[in-house]
């Protein structure tokens, strides 16, 4: 049996998260969806670390469908972006390039996405220095 690629593992993890939302036994509510996206943070970090430029727009659409479009797609997109590692957390140029690929695709649909992320990242730098 051939070992799975990191991309295959990432896609399976996303499928599992989405299946979890779809099969949630109770009522789905916005904070639940946001909590799931926050839990996905480690998967996003691993994807970027392994230079996987995943499609945030497609992932947000899938999460929206799974949650019966309870949360607007734009909110899902920006919640996913907020979970991406900040530049100071990256170790290689390839990881910077991967983040750029991810964000550029979102920026094409939602102008201002990069500026919003940069403000968030600057806040993390300031917060880290204050600690």
Tens digit of pLDDT for each residue in 53-83?
999 999 999 999 999 999 999 999 999 999 9
The answer to whether residue 112 sits within a structural domain is: yes
In a domain, 25, yes or no: yes
pLDDT of residue 131: 36
Q: What is the pLDDT of residues 6-57, one digit of tens each?
A: 999 999 999 999 999 999 999 999 999 999 999 999 999 999 999 999 999 9
Q: Is residue 15 situated within a structural domain?
A: yes
pTM exceeding the 0.75 threshold for the entire prediction: yes
Q: What is the structure's pLDDT at 3?
A: 74
Q: Is residue 95 part of a domain?
A: yes
Residue 43 lies in a domain: yes
Task: Specify whether the CB–CB gap between 11 and 47 falls below 8 A.
Answer: no
Q: Dihedral angle at the C-alpha atoms of 28, 37, 10, 118, nearest 10 degrees?
A: 150
In contact, 64 and 97? CB cutoff 8 Å: no
Count how many domains the chain has. 1
* Alpha-helix runs per DSSP H in 67-112: 73-82, 93-109
Would 97 be classed as within a structural domain? yes
Residue-level pLDDT at 61: 98
| 1 domain residue, yes or no | no
Does a structural domain hold residue 60?
yes
Which residue range is the domain that position 70 belongs to? 6-130
């Amino acid at each position: 049996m051939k070992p799975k690629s990191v991309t295959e593992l990432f896609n399976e993890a996303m499928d599992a998260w989405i299946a979890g939302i779809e099969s949630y036994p109770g009522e789905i509510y916005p904070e639940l969806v946001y909590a799931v996206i926050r839990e996905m943070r480690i998967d996003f970090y691993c994807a970027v670390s392994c230079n996987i430029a995943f499609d945030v727009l497609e992932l947000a659409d899938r999460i929206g469908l799974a949650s019966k479009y309870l949360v607007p797609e734009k909110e899902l997109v920006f919640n996913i972006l907020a979970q991406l590692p900040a530049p100071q957390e990256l170790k290689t140029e390839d990881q910077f390039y991967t983040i750029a690929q991810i964000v550029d695709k979102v920026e094409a649909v939602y102008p201002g996405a990069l500026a919003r992320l940069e403000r968030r990242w600057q806040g993390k730098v300031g917060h880290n220095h204050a600690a």
